Structure 1
Amino acid sequence: MEAADFPPDPSISLREAAESDLPAIVEIYNAAIPSRTSNADLRLVTVESRRDWYHAHSAERRPLWVAERDGKVVAWVGLSDFLPRYAYHITAEASVYVDPSLQGQGVGPWMMQRLIDECPSLGVENIISLVFAHNKPSLKVHERLGFQRWGLLPGVTKLDDARGDVVVLGRKIGA
């Protein structure tokens, strides 16, 4: 069996996100903002501002899952449309965020692998991840998961006073 079949911690389970999970999803996302390593938001987001984003997900096409431990959401992973025009429907952008207390323990890679494994049934042939070039841990995890560098967007971010590059990572499903 693949490692994706087993959570890194047996007390962690994966399930489809419910709208009632939005406060926990937002809390985990917001916890990443101050580090300036994993998302491009500079201000905290609100549950209300993420409601349309939540509703853009669907179990059949663009899932959003949460990892739970002892009834508490501790991480989330999801696919979003890469670009809105129909020809891109075979390509999706992946995002994964883990509660700071569990980072580095294999939860993120486990969730990403589960998502990758589900892609054929979703009609997804390519997964894209946009990762800050200075986020070395995320770049290494993606590499271990079979992602390749498909491009570089030089100087496209300004986090506080620092300009940054974004690495475009991609993986062909079934390759």
Structure 2
Amino acid sequence: MTSSLIVRDATDADLPAIRDIYNDAVEHTTAIWNDVLVDVDNRREWLAARVTRGYPVIVAERDGTVAGYASFGDWRAFDGYRHTVEHSIYVDKNARGGGIGETLMRALIERARAIGIHVMIASIEAQNAPSIRLHEKLGFRTVGTFSEVGTKFGRWLDLTCMELRLDPTR
């Protein structure tokens, strides 16, 4: 029996799972360049801020369990960047490699198009080859790599920046 994957808007009930996925990435990966774990109240404030700005927070649910989440938000805080967003996608450690990230990314792209976003930005730790390949598969192009702009786990990290133009006619 194959289980189905449901992509839907996140709710308050999803926040413990979102927190757990986020904290696992903080503790064990270079996907998030933070060192501090968060609690449900932190994720509640984050969700409220995204919703207030009209930005989606979506989850991928399999068999009643949140297997990943994704969102996008302002790329930069200045008015001139209002048509550009930066996204985040995180998949539960036990569900990676099964297409959930791609499913969430495709849903985010459609949500961005629906609200008139012109460009999506991806900022990816330069050694994260699976994420870079996924973004390339979905049409993102690499626009540059910043060297040693962050640290985690006692080492310098490079940041690869990618972009996807959603409405090339604008």
Query: Is the TM value for this pair above 0.5?
Result: yes
Structure 1 residues 167 and 111: alpha-carbon distance in aligned structure 2, compared to 1, 3 A threshold: same
1:28 to 10, 15, 21: 21
Query: 1:158 — aligned with what?
Result: 151
2:44 to 43, 47, 51: 51
Which stretch of structure 1 is more off in the superposition, 125-134 or 115-124?
Answer: 115-124
SS in 2 for 1:32: helix
Maintained 8 Å contact 1:66/1:77: yes
* Inter-partner Cα distance in structure 1 for 2:104 and 2:125: 20
Stretches of structure 2 lacking an aligned partner (at least 5 in a row): none
Spell out the pairing of 1:83-98 with structure 2 (5 A cutoff).
83-98=76-91
1:136 to 112, 129, 154: 129
1:71 to 46, 64, 76: 64
Q: CA deviation at 1:153?
A: 1.9
Pairwise CA RMSD: 1.7
Amino acid paired to 2:108: L
C-alpha offsets along residues 117-137 of structure 1, whole Å, 9 cap, x if unaligned? Answer: 222211211001110001111
Maintained 8 Å contact 1:16/1:59: no
Query: 2:166 — aligned with what?
Result: 173
Q: CA deviation at 1:160?
A: 2.4
Structure 1 residues 59 and 104: alpha-carbon distance in aligned structure 2, compared to 1, 3 A threshold: farther
Across the two proteins, how many residue pairs are aligned to each other?
167
SS in 2 for 1:33: helix
Maintained 8 Å contact 1:90/1:125: yes
Q: CA deviation at 1:10?
A: 5.0
The TM-score normalised by the length of structure 1 is: 0.88
The TM-score normalised by the length of structure 2 is: 0.90
Stretches of structure 1 lacking an aligned partner (at least 5 in a row): 1-8
Amino acid paired to 2:122: S
* Inter-partner Cα distance in structure 1 for 2:136 and 2:93: 21
1:11 to 1, 4, 17: 4
